[in-house]
Amino acid sequence: MIDACATLERIALAELASATDAASLEAWRVRFLGANGELRALMNRLKDAPKDQKPALGKRLNESKVALEGAHVARREAFESAMATAGIDLTEPGLPVGLGRRHPISRTIDGIVDAFRVMGFSVVDGPEVEDEWHNFTALNIPPGHPARERTDNFFMPTVDGVVRLLRTQTSTVQIRALETMPLPLKVVAVGRVYRPDTHDATHYSMFHQVEGLSVDRGVSMADLKTTLLQFAHAYFGEDAEVRMRPSFFPFTEPSAEVDMKMHIKGQWQWVEIGGCGMVDPAVLQAVGIDPEEWTGFAFGLGVERIAMRKHGISDIRWLFENDARFLRQFG
Ligand code: DAH
Cα(252)–Cα(299) distance, integer angstroms = 9
Ligand 1: nearest atom to the Cα of 209: 4
Asked whether 249 lines ligand 1 (CB < 6 A), one says yes
Probe target for ligand 1 pocket from 276, 278, 301, with the most ligand atoms within 8 Å of CB: 276
Quick check: CB of 275 below 6 Å from ligand 1? yes
For a pLDDT cut of 70, what percent of the chain falls above it?
100
Distance 265 CA to ligand 1 centre (A): 28
Cα Rg, the chain, nearest whole Å: 35
Q: Is the CB of 294 under 6 A from ligand 1?
A: no
Does ligand 1 have an atom closer than 6 angstroms to the CB of 296?
A: no
**Phi-psi category of 38—alpha, beta or left, where left has phi over 0 and alpha has psi -120 to 50?**
alpha
Distance CA 33, CA 24 (A): 14
What residues pair up with 144 in beta bridges, in sequence order?
Answer: none
Strands laid side by side in the 155-159 sheet: 129-131, 162-166, 155-159
Nearest CA to ligand 1 atom 5: 300
Contacts (Cβ under 8 Å, ≥6 apart) of 237: 262, 263
Q: What is the pLDDT of residues 189-241, one digit of tens each?
A: 999 999 999 999 999 999 999 999 999 999 999 999 999 999 999 999 999 99
- Give the number of the atom of ligand 1 that is nearest the alpha carbon of residue 277: 13
d(CA 15, CA 71): 11
Ligand 1 center–CA 249 separation, angstroms: 7
In this predicted model, what pLDDT tens digit does every residue of 12-30 receive, in sequence order?
888 888 887 788 888 889 9
Q: What is the mean pLDDT of the chain?
A: 93
**Is any ligand 1 atom within 6 A of the Cβ of residue 298?**
yes
pLDDT in tens, 97-121: 878 889 999 999 999 999 999 999 9
Please identify, by atom number, the ligand 1 atom nearest to the C-alpha of residue 169. Answer: 4
Contacts for 238 with CB less than 8 Å, ≥ 6 apart? none
Per-residue pLDDT tens digits for 110-158: 999 999 999 999 999 999 999 999 999 999 999 999 999 999 999 999 9
Whole-number Å distance, alpha carbon 300 to ligand 1 midpoint, is 4
Helix (H, G, I), strand (E, B) or coil at 21: coil
Alpha carbon distances (Å) from 275 to 210, 251, 297? 11, 11, 11
CA atoms of 63 and 81, how far apart (whole Å):
27
User: How many angstroms separate the CA atoms of 289 and 274, rounded?
Assistant: 26
**Least confident stretch, 38-42, 70-74, 82-86, 266-270:** 82-86
CB 121 near ligand 1, within 6 Å? no
Residue 257 Cα to ligand 1 midpoint, Å, equals 9
**Alpha carbon nearest to ligand 1 atom 3, residue:** 169
Q: Which residues contact 207 (CB under 8 A, 6 or more apart)?
A: 192, 193, 302, 303, 304, 316
Q: Atom 8 (ligand 1): residue with closest C-alpha? A: 300
Pairing type for strands 206-216 and 185-194 reads antiparallel
